[in-house]
């Protein structure tokens, strides 16, 4: 079993992108029906690899019903953090409630057919800023110009899921490249996660050049995440947890991998 670098303790190391699912929780019509994925299962798996803290990300199947996310956060007694999806008309009391539960950001999913549009963000931005929250984006490269415009307008911290959608099997447009440069200059972060969503197969060596390119732009504003339980992948053959750390280790080395596991600045 490959361990993360021997820096700090498990309490200092984060898996920055996981989901939890409950068997009886209602899901949105027209989308996938996930099997249960329990908090204690991913806690044990992460602990086996020296990681003690998790960022629980609201999946698209639950829409803006964050009940499963909240229950998992409260069960962790402050150890973990969350990223929620909120309704366009969310009130201050709900945001405060989510903050107390451990939520530190909102997510917009521009990829899923039942994702949530970002039209509400300009109105929501002052309240997110007051809470110290960031905005997380699950988006393709074609969405980056719009995201860059929203960042310039809202002046919030943005986090780009899954290597900012930088696929190995599709060329990037000039507009997407320019937008990524603008986002990097504006202080955005990137999650090093979801390798199998980017046209790569284990051991994901095809992504090493892209990881290096993104790391050169974003510096230390990188967060590693396993994307457990790997929705959309065959459940009988999930990727090995250690294999998801390896491309970052190969691309950036042990010291920078350690930095990618230290996500406390985003999730304090």
CA separation (Å) from 242 to 188, 225, 247? 26, 11, 10
Cβ atoms 68, 84 nearer than 8 A:
no
Question: For the range 168-176, what are the long-range contacts, defined as Cβ-Cβ under 8 Å and sequence gap of 24 or more?
Answer: 168/198, 168/199, 168/200, 168/206, 168/207, 168/210, 169/199, 170/141, 170/199, 172/141, 173/141, 173/142, 175/144, 175/145, 176/141, 176/142, 176/144, 176/145
**CA 32/CA 256 separation, integer angstroms:** 36
**CA 70/CA 245 separation, integer angstroms:** 27
Alpha helices in the chain (DSSP H): 39-48, 67-75, 92-101, 121-131, 144-154, 174-185, 208-218, 241-260, 264-267
Short-list 182, 132, 178, CA closest to 153:
182
Could you confirm whether 169 is annotated as catalytic?
no
Q: Which of 12, 40, 174, 227 is catalytic?
A: 227
Q: What is the dihedral of CA 244, 250, 255, 259, to 10 degrees?
A: -40
Q: Which residues are catalytic, by number?
A: 227
């Amino acid at each position: 079993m490959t361990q993360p670098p021997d820096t700090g303790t498990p309490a200092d190391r984060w898996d920055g992108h996981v989901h939890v699912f409950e068997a009886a929780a209602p899901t949105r019509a027209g989308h996938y029906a996930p099997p249960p994925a329990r908090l204690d299962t991913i806690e044990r798996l992460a602990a086996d690899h020296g990681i003690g803290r998790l960022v629980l990300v609201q999946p698209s199947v639950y829409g803006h019903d964050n009940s499963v996310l909240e229950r998992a956060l409260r069960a962790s007694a402050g150890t973990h953090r969350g990223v929620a999806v909120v309704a366009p008309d969310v009130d201050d009391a709900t945001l405060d409630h989510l903050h107390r539960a451990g939520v530190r950001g909102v997510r917009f999913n521009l990829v899923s057919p039942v994702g949530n549009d970002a039209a509400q963000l300009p109105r929501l931005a002052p309240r997110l800023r007051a809470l110290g929250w960031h905005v997380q984006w699950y988006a393709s490269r074609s969405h980056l110009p719009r995201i860059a415009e929203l960042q310039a307008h809202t002046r919030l911290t943005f986090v780009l899921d899954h290597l900012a959608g930088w696929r190995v099997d599709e060329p990037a447009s000039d507009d997407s490249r320019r937008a990524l440069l603008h986002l990097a200059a504006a202080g955005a972060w990137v999650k090093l996660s979801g390798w199998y969503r980017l046209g790569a197969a284990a051991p994901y060596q095809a992504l090493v050049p892209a990881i290096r390119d993104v790391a050169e732009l974003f510096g230390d504003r990188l967060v590693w995440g396993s994307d457990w339980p790997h929705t959309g992948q065959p459940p009988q053959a999930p990727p090995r947890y250690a294999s998801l750390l390896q491309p970052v280790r190969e691309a950036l080395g042990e010291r920078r991998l350690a930095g990618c596991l230290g996500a406390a600045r985003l999730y304090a």
